[in-house]
Amino acid sequence: MAETPLSDLEAILLVGGQGTRLRPLTLGTPKPLLPTAGVPFLAHQLARARSFGVGRIVFATSYRAEMFSEAFGDGSAFGLSIEYMTEETPLGTGGAIRNAAEALTCGPDAPVLVLNGDILSGHDIGDQVARHVSRGAAVTLHLTEVDDPSRFGCVPTDEEGRVTAFLEKTPNPVTNLINAGCYVFTRSVIDSIPAGRVVSVERETFPGLIEDGALVLGYADASYWLDVGTPAAFVKGSRDLVLGRLASPALPGPPGDFLALPGAMISPEAKVSGGSVVGARAVVESGARITGSVLGDDCVVHADAEVVDSVVGIGARVSSGTVLRDVVIGDGAVVGAGNELLAGSRVWPGVVLPECAVRFSSDV
Ligand code: GTP
């Protein structure tokens, strides 16, 4: 296989999913564009890919496709060249890769990096590509070890790193290694994925390659890894970036206890900490306590409210004395005084939750 200098490496970014698990945040904004540590989530991935020498990226879009080109244009502001390939109807992960490959310029033997658009990873992409090239693999998958693999499909490998199977979710997984959503494909392998129909790489392409005896290689490592597909994971990703647990060239400013965007007004009597972000022009009043949370632009957290590990949407209002823990408040929603919302609660955009009368009746 021809050696490809990393500076010539092309990438495909999968960003066409609907992000259903992150609703209501993803009703108006696709998951990869959600503000994360002060910038769109993808900005962190693009900056990392670029730091490994990737120069040209094809976005595989579908859901709200136009929002990606509005945010990233031709990529020049990010030191990249970006192309967009849009599916009329979503083609699944494999179909999306096949469709996006029409915009690649590399030859059949070149490695192509493929990234899921919802992963934060600290692994060495350059080393993954080098391993792929030196072993002459068809595909090399980044694998990561998780504590509880029963929530995922698992990916066993032999002693030489060859992937032996793609196993569906099971209560008794044979390994803790799971698919980490970053692949290196040899270009000709992408061209062999059927065109114009829905294909899943996890359920069809990878198992098929293994069955045909192709070399599907695992690249296992123990660096930082997070799939930001759920609200809890999304806020964790944002706070880990702000705190510097995962270094990102796209973080606007040095890592620290919190990040305040331009125009944010935080009372000196408020306490903001734990990797929180306070959005542009957002207001945090006296006595409010914000920990490990993402406050959207133009939102207001009134006096003495407590917001922990939560997302407060753009322009939302959190009234005095409210407690929010592990919740998502949609854009423009209002949480009336005295409410206590706990794990997993989601308030849809624009909804107004009235004052909590029970709490207030005991105060008078
Ligand atoms: P959920 O609906 O919450 O599961 O999220 P999702 O839609 O993002 O699905 P999932 O997390 O399984 O997707 C993994 C990655 O593949 C994400 O970056 C998605 O944007 C992307 N993706 C999933 N399906 C498609 C598709 O049909 N087309 C394209 N272009 N990308 C896809």
Q: Answer yes or no: are the C-beta atoms of 154 and 175 closer than 8 Å.
A: yes
Catalytic residue positions?
169
Which atom, in ligand 1's list, is nearest to the CA of 90? 27
Does ligand 1 lie within 6 Å of residue 229's CB atom?
yes
Domain presence at residue 364? no
Closest C-alpha to ligand 1, atom 28: 16
* Sheet strand arrangement including 56-61: 81-86, 56-61, 10-14, 111-116, 177-186, 139-145, 216-221
Q: How many alpha carbons fall within 13 Å on the CB side of residue 227?
A: 18
Q: Are residues 14 and 88 in the same domain?
A: yes
Query: What pLDDT, on a 0 to 100 scale, did the predictor assign at position 77?
Result: 87
Claim to verify: residue 131 and residue 216 sit in the same structural domain: yes
Task: Please check the confidence at residue 359 and state whether its pLDDT lies above 70.
Answer: no
Q: List, for residues 252-303, the tens digit of each pLDDT value.
A: 989 999 999 999 999 999 999 999 999 999 999 999 999 999 999 999 999 9
User: Which of the listed residues 116, 152, 182 should we mutate to test ligand 1's pocket, taking the one with most ligand atoms within 8 A of CB?
Assistant: 116
Q: For the residues 329-358, what does the mean pLDDT come to?
A: 89
Distance from the alpha carbon of residue 93 to the mean position of ligand 1, in angstroms: 7
State the pLDDT at residue 6: 60
Residues 176 and 299 in one domain: no
- Check which CATH number belongs to the domain holding 169 and give it: 3.90.550.10
Domain that holds residue 297: 257-353
33 near 58, Cβ under 8 Å? no
Write the pLDDT tens digit of every residue in 65-91. 999 999 999 999 888 999 999 999 999
Look at residue 239 and give its three-state secondary structure: helix
List Cβ neighbours of 361 (8 Å cut-off, separation of 6 or more).
none
CATH number of domain containing 339 = 2.160.10.10
Calculate how far, in angstroms, residue 99's C-alpha sits from the geometric centre of ligand 1: 15
Whether 5 shows a pLDDT value over 60: the answer reads no
Within 8 A by CB and 6+ apart from 183, the residues are 113, 114, 139, 140, 141, 142, 201
pLDDT of 308 reads: 97
Q: Specify the residue with its C-alpha closest to ligand 1, atom 10.
A: 17
Residue 271 and residue 183 in one domain: no
Q: Is residue 161 part of a domain?
A: yes
Q: Tell whether 189 and 143 lie within a shared domain.
A: yes
Question: Is residue 45 in a domain?
Answer: yes
Per-residue pLDDT at 219 exceeds 50: yes
Domain count, the chain: 2
